[in-house]
Amino acid sequence: MSDRNPRVVSALKLVRPAERRKAGRFLAEGPNAVAAALARGAVIELFATSKAIEKHEAIMGNAGCPVWIVSERIAKGLSETVTPQGLVAVCEAPAARLDHTLAKVPPEGFVAVLVDVNEPGNAGTIIRVADAAGAAAVIIAGESVDPLNGKVIRAAAGSSFHLPVVRAAIAGDVVEELLRARFRVLATSARGELSIFDVGEVLSGTRVAWLFGNEAHGLPAAIADRATHAVSIPIRGGAESLNLATAATLCLYESARSLHGSARAQAG
């Protein structure tokens, strides 16, 4: 297929955020993301190199959508990553709304809220961790990276298709919506009044939203001040700080531990 083919031209435009918003479509690259997108029924068409078709026979055999064979050069153009994998799906963008998503969170469920998170790798990893920990949703707020960015989708390794990922422009409005919906809002902060080791009672018996801030600057004061509690992760050794995705992993799995510990207690 030529790079002048209208289908290729349309797909190449989706590398740009403005075109993704305009078209209501985005690109998912790699076997994990493509398989998850196919399972969800989100794939419109699939572009693959001959090598990728041979390597991923199981995925191609269950595609159920148009498959176009493209050159390595076109596959590289469709990729937003350093190491293209030759397998790219054009997907329908999700239409999840914040109010509808929050209404579906179970009584003791939890969500992750990313505020001004810039790094695609961090955003995608947190989506993946939230999925693994059993979070009900991920909310991408403020000046954060586009959750439909190709690097985010690839870092999420398919998890972007497993749970709602909601984009919200104004972080302050997200916090107010969470408080109205009776979530306990926890802001991660180096100066939090609660340690993550002592947060168990805060997590039990209610829905919880974890706020994670910018990699360099943390949460804006105006956002952190609206939270129900500020939670810190103590540093015992000589490390200056934790990577954002690592800190988010500890917090989300603390919610998972509390949730499943409560379920076991009720069952017993």
Per-residue pLDDT of the chain (268 residues; tens, 9 = 90+): 677 889 999 999 999 999 999 999 999 999 999 999 999 999 999 999 999 999 999 999 888 899 999 999 999 999 887 788 999 999 999 888 999 999 999 999 999 999 999 999 999 999 999 999 999 999 999 999 999 999 999 999 999 999 999 999 999 999 999 999 999 999 998 888 899 999 888 898 899 999 999 999 999 999 999 999 999 999 989 988 899 999 999 999 999 998 876 554 454 4
Contacts for 16 with CB less than 8 Å, ≥ 6 apart: none
Rounded CA gap, 67 and 84, in Å?
A: 18
Q: What is the DSSP string of 131-163?
A: HHHT-SEEEEETTPPPTTSHHHHHHHTTGGGTS
Please give the order of strands across the beta sheet that includes 165-168: 165-168, 137-141, 110-115, 207-212, 183-188, 229-232, 194-195
pLDDT for position 91: 97
DSSP H or E segment with residue 193:
none
CA dist 267 to 110, 263, 264, Å? 20, 6, 5
